[in-house]
Structure 1
């Protein structure tokens, strides 16, 4: 963060807010002994991140089930679409309430397009129907199930990969995937590591969720494959701070990290898709105060 803020290249970005950025950065986080990478210099709402990850694994792309759980981190994109299309400057609170209460309204305005979860568990497949024609298969390819089978049956493979970057679907997504490609590696001692490539990283807001969810997913996969979690390696393409996040940056840089949070998995269900919110507990997490900052849409 300090290096981006003091040495980063200042650029105009898609949102118009402007950023300072570095390109091609890597960090490593140990997962040994139940360690979990949770930022301690500000509060990370890990319960919200957990609910988001479990939602990804359902393949759902509508914000309605998230809002029903009080998770509002995806509201800005469909709300912006609604306002642009209708001219109605409905408040975020009213929009969210109507999404939860009105299934038809949610179906029309609450969907994000084929974002993360859809690509993870329902990547489109096409089947031949003759005369050189193809139709979309009813059930897409479940990359996560395939990954689990690959780790169980061929741990030495170098193809333990899933991705959300489906070029054919990018234009239909509310936001193309930022944390886009995950690769897994099994050590000879049974240690499972994850390499996450993130093409675009909002270090001030998004990163804390991204790295927690990558570590959480690695722990869940290790649990299902009779492995133990070893490490998350994070690589960012464009790693940036928004120019309107100066207060967040300056407060964070004045604070001193402390503590060693742990994540416990309390139950091993039949499949990766059967974990529930109450199956997880974070311990020894005593973060400093939350630092608010605006989201650039």
Structure 2
């Protein structure tokens, strides 16, 4: 059986060789494929964090915890040393004020000045807002994450266990519209497990007559920056699946990822060549929880351990804004 990371290496090779050349919103240009899928068995605690380059899983986890708090301002992220969202408010500030302020100075001011952060650090109703405070038509708010967990616990075979980010009414207010837009959960008896081709099989006969259940996740993206975004998105989705199963007292199953416009930017081809020259390490890392918080929203970064992450060196690539 091939290393599960080979799916990623085959994908980026295929995009470069067969992708359609497109001029995109950023004007950088991309090669893109439409409609791809990868699958990962997480039943043994696996986290599909790429090993052919260093992935900053700490930042991905902190971003996820930020989403789960319903946050939309970059200040809490910057206080945690996570700078992945700075480009968009920085560009907005420079355009609005004519300032040539550097990124580090802008970030420092966001951290130090709460009023400045309120004016310039907010991203609009991005992921956290939609996950936790989706506006209904009566002026109330819907907590999709709590709702999904409630269904997992009380109606596990529902086909409506979905967390959705694509709120059409609020897209124009977002600094960046959702790329990873939809999360759908699927529960099976624990003895059942889906294989590489989606075929149902018996994973563990000792659960055959038991009632224990297994939680799976399908994450869908409308748009994927395959070099920078995809490794983050896989890491985030895997953490979320493990957390939801941990809260629901279920085993973990498959993470299935699918992407519509799946692209590599024209300024990332050197990074692709470097990564394709490397062989994956022996195995993906594993997750361990140090405690079980009272709810999904009470996890702290210190509650997680990532075990055995062996990786090749970091590969630099520029963000297209």
Equivalents in 1 of 2:94, 2:248: separation in Å?
Answer: 45
Q: Is contact 1:259-1:284 (8 Å) kept? A: no
Equivalents in 1 of 2:270, 2:159: separation in Å?
Answer: 43
- TM-score of the superposed pair, with normalisation by structure 1: 0.96
Paired residue secondary structure (2:249): coil
What does residue 292 of structure 1 align with? Answer: 316
Paired residue secondary structure (1:90): coil
Paired residue secondary structure (2:142): coil
What does residue 132 of structure 2 align with? Answer: 121
- Tell whether 2:198 aligns with 1:187: no
Equivalents in 1 of 2:287, 2:54: separation in Å?
Answer: 16
Report how far residue 64 of structure 1 moved: 0.3
Paired residue secondary structure (1:187): strand
Equivalents in 1 of 2:136, 2:158: separation in Å?
Answer: 24
Question: Runs ≥4 in structure 1, deviation > 2 angstroms?
Answer: none
Report how far residue 247 of structure 1 moved: 1.2
What does residue 107 of structure 1 align with? Answer: 118
Equivalents in 1 of 2:291, 2:226: separation in Å?
Answer: 32
Equivalents in 1 of 2:121, 2:282: separation in Å?
Answer: 39
For residues 126-159 of structure 1, the C-alpha deviation after alignment (integer angstroms, 9 at most, x for no partner) is 32xxxxxxxx23xx11000000000000111111
- Tell whether 2:295 aligns with 1:271: yes
What does residue 168 of structure 2 align with? Answer: 167
Report how far residue 259 of structure 1 moved: 2.6
Paired residue secondary structure (1:229): strand
Cα RMSD of the aligned pairs, angstroms, is 0.7
Q: Is contact 1:259-1:285 (8 Å) kept? A: no
Equivalents in 2 of 1:296, 1:236: separation in Å?
Answer: 19
- Tell whether 2:230 aligns with 1:229: no
What does residue 219 of structure 1 align with? Answer: 242
Q: Is contact 1:203-1:239 (8 Å) kept? A: yes
Q: Is contact 1:24-1:235 (8 Å) kept? A: yes
What does residue 230 of structure 2 align with? Answer: 207
Q: 1:76 aligns with which of 87, 93, 114?
A: 87
Paired residue secondary structure (1:291): coil
Report how far residue 125 of structure 1 moved: 2.2
Q: Is contact 1:55-1:117 (8 Å) kept? A: yes
Paired residue secondary structure (1:49): helix
- Tell whether 2:14 aligns with 1:3: yes
What does residue 67 of structure 1 align with? Answer: 78
Report how far residue 269 of structure 1 moved: 0.5
- TM-score of the superposed pair, with normalisation by structure 2: 0.89
Structure 2 stretches of 5 or more lacking a match?
Answer: 1-11, 191-212
What does residue 133 of structure 1 align with? Answer: none
Equivalents in 2 of 1:168, 1:41: separation in Å?
Answer: 40
Equivalents in 2 of 1:220, 1:114: separation in Å?
Answer: 24
Structure 1 stretches of 5 or more lacking a match?
Answer: 128-135
What does residue 37 of structure 2 align with? Answer: 26
Equivalents in 1 of 2:137, 2:109: separation in Å?
Answer: 36
Report how far residue 89 of structure 1 moved: 1.0
